[in-house]
Chains A and B, each alone.
Chain A
Amino acid sequence: MDVKILIVGVGGQGTVLASKIIGEAAQLAGLDVKQSEVHGMAQRGGSVVTHVKFGDDVYSPLVEPGQADYVLAFEQLEGLRWISHLAASGKLICSTQQIMPMPVITGAAKYPEDIESKFREAGVDYLMLDAIDTAGRLGEKRAANVVLLGALARHLEIGREIWQQAIRNVVKKRAVDVNLQAFDCGWNC
């Protein structure tokens, strides 16, 4: 097994927590794992990318273009920005959430219309998911990241109990229950 995942979104959306849970689950499954993210200025509402790789032996922590088995996108435009990292057999899991970047707010640029059709035209294997709405129905919109994670986890060769343990290990105690529910919603979607 040798899995490469790119998690993309906007600073503040919780991409780092999702990658932590994946890393923890891979480790619990006895695999080598590496992940890489960027802190600092980029986190202030900019585009953020987290790389996660696990398997028997992992060298570079980064996922190269055309190599990602999965791109997990927390925001539509960010999903579109990173489709060239998908492998030919790769799958995109994308939240329907849209966050306007500052050049769009100021009118200097236009947010792309109907991004889903662009995925279709490009021949991308994709799944769109209203993770905010799902998490909102659980009473915690901030758990949208774990809904998306659940939708990803279903495709990976790591058992469901291991994922649940990883969530218990990583998430703050008082948020464990809602995150486990969020994970299930994503898994079953």
Chain B
Amino acid sequence: MIVIKKLMSGNEAIARGFYEAGGHAATAYPGTPSTEILEHISQYPEIYSEWSVNEKVAVEVAQGFSMAGARSLAAMKHVGVNVAADPLFTMAYSGVNGGFVLVSADDPGMHSSQDEQDNRYYARFMKMLLLEPSDSQEAKQMVIDGLEMSEKLDLPVILRTTTRISHSQGLVELGERKEVGLRSYEKRPDKFVMMPANARRLRVTLDQRLAEAGEFSETYPGNRVIPGDGKFAVITSGIAYQYAREVFGQQATYLKLSMTNPAPRKMITDFISRHDNVLVIEEGEPFLEEQIKFWGLKVTGKERLPAVGELSAAIIAERILGGQKYSPAVNAVEGLPQRPPVMCPACPHRGVYFLLAKKKPIITGDIGCYTLGALPPLNAMDTCICMGASITAAIGIKQMLPDRKVVATIGDSTFLHSGLTGLVDAIYKKSNIVVLILDNHITGMTGHQQNPATGLTIRNNPTNRVVIEDVVKACGVENVQVVDAYDLAAVESALDQALAADRLSVIIARRACALIVKDKGKPYWIDSDKCKRCRACMRIGCPAISYADNLVSIDGNICNACGVCRQMCKFGALQEG
């Protein structure tokens, strides 16, 4: 038989695994580094897939799939699991009908996140099964294994990846799809109605199911010893295995763990009894190490390796071997200018933030591209905590500082994700804040996913559209304005009106993300005869405009022709096309 291999990211491999395992239905809310999982799943016509309005909804809908007998999957980034934690905890009690896998894509190093929580602890806390792939091939296999063990052990599974699994590509052997019918649906209130009497009984069986899973973990092929010369003995999991293998090669004997909750206690005890000075090498928190030490076994881990940030072969080499296995041949150049991410040329958020900052209110921000408004030169944000917190933080701040103007800024997708409940709270509290909804017609930062306000499904088919201004008005907000985000005069006038109002105001600044607009128009240019070098156009912080040798110029290669800069110029120096 010819084995076909394909280069796949971990995310694509997870989708492939779900396909091959006969998966029926999947949900997700986009979030880096998890987003492409559902995008790839949506390419398989055999599988029902949908973007959910948030992660809690994604898990609850996917649990519905499972209750109905389907093999189901929900995918999200690590902080999304916080949003979904409520149904997940109880789901472990209920167990499943069709197999259920939750993919938690963690982001050590916080490439695109607000924290680096190690979600393996959720598996222990929620009493779920935990799988940790170390490359794309394993990611595919562990979705297949996960669905099977979920059904066999009647427990949900967390498949936990990290950025370097999600977004690294490796070769994956492709298999056929194995069609699996829906398991039969039976009314099971004893299992799915979580009233105290049922929950108390299931609390006991939960530990019994976990004990059985512990036995299963001892024989799961993903937990195995990889023999070596034995100069070092290493217990490891996930991407850390690859880094350790890179550093020690054949010199070490590895206990490579894939199913880490419940971890295989006998296998670990046996490994430690056969080797001296066993190292636990894991990225992030001492999750395995704490478990092993709790069992009274002696290992070394975070005494020598960092818990903060991403692990790497270089860090392991430096901390364990000492010396300079990976020393630079050429020294790094110090003091270079940083290159932080910026709003794209023609980003509709730019002009809005510029005007907002000018009014000097307290600005509570939210999660999305528009978080970049916090950076210079706009400096237009006081707070940004988590999805939806702009509106609620504004309510609290306004209540304590009634003399200050407070504006909450939030994107269209984030507003529907968890801003809406905050807005209802603001109405109920009679909170005199301004809610500025930055509606760019798409979920932007994660790479352009549809959401309920776009009226399109994950496969770009038309569906019902949630009209944000209708929702806001229906909730009871009377002062609602909709403006074009590129029209600075209109935005400023709306802001002035709302900031002067003595009641809750909502402004929807609307304009499509510049990256999804196909006909961009011709780039602007600067007539240097008219230009007075005042650089007012540069105050909006557009990366296409720069100043050198006493000349302000626009880079025509990257200008997307929004025309906001032209509205900044009093001398008519900025020219269209």
Contacts and interface: CB of A to CB of B under 8 A. Distances in A.
| Interface size, A (range) | 35 or more
Interface in A54-111: 58-62, 64-67, 77-78, 80-81, 83-88, 90, 99-106, 108-111
A1 interface: no
Interface residues of B, number: 58
Contacts of B245: 59-60
B435 to A, nearest CB: 24
A113 B288 CA distance: 49
B340 A104 contact: no
A104 B332 contact: no
B543 A83 contact: no
B329 interface: yes
Given A33-B7, A36-B164, A41 B112 contact: yes
B305 to A, nearest CB: 15
B312 A62 contact: yes
Nearest to B447: A39
Contacts of A124: 330
B536 to A, nearest CB: 14
Interface string A21-42: 0011001000011111111111
B343 interface: yes
B32 A40 contact: yes
A33 B369 CA distance: 32
Given A40-B111, A42-B112, A83 B337 contact: no
A75 to B, nearest CB: 9
Given A45-B543, A85-B328, A102-B340, A40 B168 contact: no
A64 B169 contact: no
Contacts of B337: 77, 101, 103-104, 109-112
Contacts of A32: 171
A44 B375 CA distance: 13
B326 A65 contact: yes
A78 B332 contact: no
A122 B342 contact: no
A40 B445 contact: yes
Contacts of B538: 105-106
Contacts of B313: 60, 62, 64
B339 interface: yes
19 contacts: A34-B169, A35-B169, A36-B167, A37-B168, A42-B111, A47-B339, A60-B313, A61-B164, A65-B326, A84-B328, A87-B329, A99-B555, A100-B543, A102-B340, A102-B342, A102-B376, A106-B541, A109-B337, A111-B337
Interface of A: 10-12, 23-24, 27, 32-47, 58-62, 64-67, 77-78, 80-81, 83-88, 90, 99-106, 108-112, 118, 122-124, 132, 141
- By Cβ-Cβ distance, the 7 closest A-B pairs, closest first, are A40-B112, A40-B32, A46-B341, A109-B337, A84-B332, A88-B329, A101-B339
Interface of B: 5, 7, 32-33, 35-36, 111-112, 135, 163-164, 167-171, 242-243, 245-246, 312-314, 326-333, 336-344, 369, 371-372, 375-377, 445-447, 538, 541, 543, 545-547, 555, 557-558
